[in-house]
Structures are given as C-alpha cells and as structure tokens.
Amino acid sequence: PPRQGMTPAYIALGSNLEQPLRQLQAAVLAIAQLPSSQLARVSSVYRSAAVGPGEQADYLNAVLQLHTALQPAELLAALQAIEQAQGRVRTIRWGARCIDLDIILYGDRQIATSALTIPHAQLQLRNFVLYPLAEIAGPNLVLPDGADIGTLIARCPRGDLVKTRQRLTPQTSVPRDIE
C-alpha cells in the first residue's frame, strides 16, 4: 500500500522507435527517480501493432504503478520532461514515437482539463493498456466511473497483442533490444 499522502497512479509506456525496449527501460528508470514518488510495480512488456497514420513499426508497451505525492499536473509535467529528455518530438497525432508516457489512472480521481484527462480517454479501447494494467492491478480494479477492469477487457479483444518475455526493472541497467 502507498505511504500516507501518496496516491497510486498508473502510467502507460509505449515506444516504436530508436530501440523501443531501451526507451521503455530508460523511462522506467527516470520515473523511479521522480521526487516524492515510489515505483510499485511494472507489467510485462507487450508487443502490439501501431495505431495511427502510415506504416509504422510495432509498439512495445507496458504499464507501471507509481505511488506519488505529486499532484496530477506535476506528474504530467514530470512525464513530459522525461519524454523530452528521451527525444520525443510531437509532430503527427498518433504518429511513431520513441517514447509515450500517459497517466491512465490517478487514485480514484476523474480529471477533465485541456491538458489532462483521467482516466485516460481511450483506455477502454486500448488492449495494449488494459491487459498490462490488469496484470499489475489485478482483476478487481474498479475505475473511478465504476467500470471494472474485467468487464473492460471482456469488451476489448486481445487481437494481435502479444505478451513478451522481456521485463523492465527499476535497476540501473538498460537491456539490449531483442527485435
């Protein structure tokens, strides 16, 4: 359980450029170093087909749980700084990217601002988020709107989503990509 004053937050990670496994691992290491925060769990790595324009390489995806005292806007700013440090360039919506970090859930909060929507607006449509989220949160997770993870997964086919044997760790080593 989180320490007093900390909120469990779930963050989705995705990459399909510039050695995706290394990108995900570097993001996990950076998130583990965030102030007033403690990395709790990291899912397996999943491979999925790209969603978006043009021909794109497959994505590697994962979800992690972070216990944090950072407020949602502070967490968003910290994640965007990590993306920028790893070379993320925002050009084409849903285009290929070296790293994408999204706050999926922040405690039981529902937030809808121009900068941030929690739970993530597309959560129920994204098998590459739902399956790793269920892996680390368990089958009894209930979202702030009352939806439970089991029902969402039942409505979102696994499709071409593949759970890999690759693991991300909060240690300081960055793995070689196995493509």
DSSP assignment of 84-143, as one string? Answer: HHTT----STT---S-EEEEEEETT--EE-SS-EES-TTGGG-HHHHHHHHHHH-TT-B-
Cα 179 from Cα 176, distance rounded (Å) = 9
Whether 93 sits among the annotated catalytic residues: the reply is: no
CA 119 to chain centre: 12
Residue identified by tokens 């496994």 is 21
Q: Which of 3, 102, 126, 167 is catalytic?
A: 102
Q: Which of 88, 93, 155, 158 is catalytic?
A: 88
Whether 41 sits among the annotated catalytic residues: the reply is: no
Cα 10 from Cα 8, distance rounded (Å) = 7
Q: Which of 100, 145, 160, 167 is catalytic?
A: 100
Whether 88 sits among the annotated catalytic residues: the reply is: yes
Q: What is the number of other CB atoms lying within 10 angstroms of the CB of residue 63? A: 27
Omega within 30 of 0 (cis) for the link into 35: no
Burial of 144: CB neighbours in 10 Å, binned 0-12, 13-18, 19+? middle
Whether 155 sits among the annotated catalytic residues: the reply is: no
Q: Which of 90, 97, 108, 126 is catalytic?
A: 97
Residues forming the active site: 88, 97, 100, 102
